[in-house]
Homo-oligomer: A and B are copies of this chain.
Amino acid sequence: MILIDGKAVSAQIKQEIAAEVEQIVAAGGKRPHLAAILVGHDGGSETYVSNKVKACEACGFKSSLIRYEADVTEAELLAKVEELNQDADVDGFIVQLPLPKHISEQKVIEAIDYRKDVDGFHPINVGRLAIGLPCYVSATPNGIIELLRRYNIETAGKKCVVLGRSNIVGKPMATLMMQKATPGDATVTVCHSHSRDLKKECQEADIIIAAIGKPNFVTADMVKEGAVVIDVGTTRVPDATKKSGFRLNGDVKFDEVAPKCSFITPVPGGVGPMTIVSLMKNTLLAGKKAIYQ
């Protein structure tokens, strides 16, 4: 069993990005600039955004954090989005989700100029991904593809089961795994809350990508000997032994599943760090105007 070390891979990629940024700057180019809008004080969002700011530093990016209290109006937020769209110094930006209930997340996402949409959530980027055109790929699926690539995990012709059909993980993940590419070319099955034969599908899978948000959902009896298991789950579970009072729990019952796997990602330290580094990769692409002018 090989433990996929997302922390090490992401550190490596951040170094690669930082080296490229220094080359760009040395050649007189512009330092990539990522802006993030954070609304309110949700604990998870605070952590994600602070990790993104730290990752920007590690990559040599300029970063800006724009904060609003939870009572910001939709109109104020949309005005800021428009300001960032117009700001030539900002190469890419994100609006950290979730947003307070009085603000339409979809409206905000669609207001972002798709050329600066480094989260890859705008319909144009989602559509271009589905069609197979260059675009900003949603961070978590992109990070998983990068792990499969760096660990030379064969995917062509393999049966890949994706658990979950969310817009930001399950669906784009399925699209990437079935596309004509390496990694890719897999036979992809998407299972979700309505699936009757979810267990059987998993038992037959060469690769399981669990993004269903249920702690310890994937158990040993669901996994074939030698399977590759990628765990996207990051549910906060109360844990008195931790300073924070909680721990992150994956969708996979790691202790019993790991011994059966050829490769498996831990939680934390697997997919999580790759998600942030994928955002950094998109920001570098944005800074270089590599996808859109």
Instruction: List the interface of chain A (C-beta within 8 A of B).
Output: 106, 122-133, 156-159, 165, 167, 171-172, 174-175, 178-180, 185-192, 194-198, 201, 204
Contact = CB atoms under 8 A, between A and B. Distances in A.
Nearest to A159: B197
A41 B55 CA distance: 56
Nearest to A158: B196
Given A187-B191, A189-B189, A157 B127 contact: no
Given A127-B130, A130-B130, A197-B204, 11 more contacts: A124-B127, A126-B126, A126-B130, A126-B131, A127-B128, A130-B171, A157-B195, A174-B174, A174-B190, A178-B192, A187-B197
Nearest to A126: B127
Contacts of A125: 127
A28 B122 CA distance: 37
Contacts of A175: 130, 171
Contacts of A179: 165
A187 to B, nearest CB: 4
Contacts of A171: 130, 175, 178
Q: Which 5 A-B pairs have the closest CB atoms?
A: A127-B127, A123-B127, A126-B127, A187-B195, A189-B189
A102 B108 CA distance: 39
Nearest to A172: B130
8 contacts: A124-B127, A129-B130, A130-B171, A165-B178, A187-B190, A187-B192, A188-B189, A188-B190
B156 A194 contact: yes
A124 B127 CA distance: 6
Contacts of A190: 174, 178, 187-189
A9 B165 CA distance: 31
Contacts of A126: 126-128, 130-131
Contact of A133 (B123, B178, B187, B196): B123
A229 B259 CA distance: 40
Nearest to A125: B127
Given A178-B192, A196-B158, A122 B127 contact: yes
A54 B127 CA distance: 31
A143 to B, nearest CB: 19
A126 B180 CA distance: 18
A190 B125 CA distance: 22
A167 B194 CA distance: 25
Nearest to A198: B187
Contacts of A195: 157, 187
A17 to B, nearest CB: 27
Q: Which of A165, A175, A178, A196 has the most CB of B within 10 A?
A: A178
A167 B172 CA distance: 14
